[in-house]
Structure 1
Amino acid sequence: MAIRMNLDVVMAKRKIGLTELSREVDITMANLSILKNNKAKAVRFTTLEALCKALHCQPGDLMEYVEEEESNEG
C-alpha cells in the first residue's frame, strides 16, 4: 500500500493506548486496530480529524506516502 499509517508511532510518542484513544475518539478498538496495523483501505475525514484532535497532531503525522517498488517478474 502506498499510503502508510503511522498511528502506532504517534500513539507511542503521546503515551496513549488503544483503549484510551478508542474512548476519546469514539471508534471501536477493532477499527482503531485496523488503522494502527495498516490494514485499512480508507479513512473518513471525520475519523482523521478526531484522531488529530485527540493526539494533538497533523494528518501528515499520521500518514505518509511510500513509493511501492515495481515487480519485474513476468
Structure 2
Amino acid sequence: MKDKIEVNLDVMLAKRKMSVTELAERVGITISNISILKNGKAKAIRFETLASICEALDCQPGEILYYRKDDENEEN
C-alpha cells in the first residue's frame, strides 16, 4: 500500500455535532462530494474548499487530514 493522506472528517463532524448535509450547505458543495471526501475516496481537494470546511467546523486542516506512512499499518 502507498503512503497516503487519511481524512478524519467524520471525527470532526461528530465533535461538532454536525451532519454531512449541514456541512455541505455551509461549504456550498454537494452532499455527494462531502461524502466522497469523508470516505477517503477523493483524489484531490481545493484549498478554497478545505478552507471553507475548516471555517464551518472551526478547525485547522491538520485536524481533518493526516499523513500515514506505509509502515504505520505494520506496527499496529
TM-score normalised per structure 2? 0.87
Please name the residue that 1:66 is paired with. 68
Report 1:1-74 matches (<5 A). 2-69=4-71
* C-alpha separation in 2, matches of 1:31 and 1:23: 12
Extract unaligned runs of 5+ from structure 2.
72-76
How far apart are 1:19 and its partner, in Å? Answer: 0.8
User: What root-mean-square deviation, in Å, do the aligned CA atoms of Structure 1 and Structure 2 show?
Assistant: 0.9
Extract unaligned runs of 5+ from structure 1.
70-74
**Aligned residues: percent identity?**
54
TM-score normalised per structure 1? 0.89
3-state SS, counterpart of residue 50 of structure 1? helix
User: Stretches of 4+ moved more than 6 A in 1?
Assistant: none
